[in-house]
Amino acid sequence: MLLAIDVGNTNTKFAIHDGSAWRAQWRSSTDARRTADEYAPWLSQLMALGGLEFADVTACIISTVVPQALFNLRNLSRRYVGAEPMVIGEAGVRLGIEVRIDKPSEAGADRLVNAVGAFIEYGGPAIVIDSGTATTFDIVGDDGAFEGGIILPGINLSLQALHDAAARLPRVEIRDPGAVIGKDTVSAMQSGIYWGSIDMIEGLCRRVRAEYGKPMKTIATGGVAALFEGAFPSIDHFDQDLTSRGLLEIFKRNGGVL
């Protein structure tokens, strides 16, 4: 079985694939200080709930946008899986796609993995919207190439900045307030973040399609995306397994066998 690890700035996702299907997936808050020996008992207990154990896992692949976390996760794979992990971005790990931006080395590992996962499942051209610490729009060409994108603050980050900068504004839940015009501070903030996010994403999708000049599929993923499912006319698919699927495909492209 394969242990696929995707490290984001806020959360880290662990997923296990048995060669034919995903057996289980879990999320943990990202903490670069957590050691391999701290990860292991947490992960082994969750695996046991699904009838799995470390002895079942024979390979590991890691994508991370937090370089400081890699050392401990590499040790987790070496000590508890008994395998040297594939690491996205390291020499010898081929993505199997062309990166058509001015500075390919600057493209985040998660964005490239999402591009692979989107193309394998949906084809191209496509817009991949990942809602996490940052909200990213990534453009996948009709041949699967990564062609650039857009980066802006994530929804939770925007809410936190609003709370931190304005003494009288509270933390609020992200949800549809039921009306655009808020009748109190909380509903006004919820309207701003909910409808503002929807209109921002819809508007940027229109601009991307107009500039690209071809019909494009739109796929949304990331921890916050599910809160908006059904609210976006322009989004064709909500897919929480996109990054895991991309990691599995890259594992196979580099000779990985389960």
What is the four-CA torsion angle of 28, 32, 33, 35, rounded to 10 degrees?
A: 70
Q: Which amino acid is at 83?
A: A
Q: Which two tokens stand for residue 81?
A: 């899986």
Q: What is the C-alpha to C-alpha distance for residues 125 and 104, in angstroms, rounded to an integer?
A: 19
Residues in contact with 249: Cβ distance below 8 Å, sequence separation at least 6, in sequence order: 96, 116, 117, 120
Q: What is the C-alpha to C-alpha distance for residues 108 and 99, in angstroms, rounded to an integer?
A: 11
Q: Looking at 110, 130, 138, 239, which residue is catalytic?
A: 110
* 110 catalytic residue (yes or no): yes
DSSP string over 165-203: H-TTPPP---S--SSSS-SSHHHHHHHHHHHHHHHHHHH
Distances in whole angstroms, Cα of residue 103 to Cα of each of 99, 121, 140, 148, 246: 9, 27, 16, 10, 22
Catalytic annotation, residues: 110
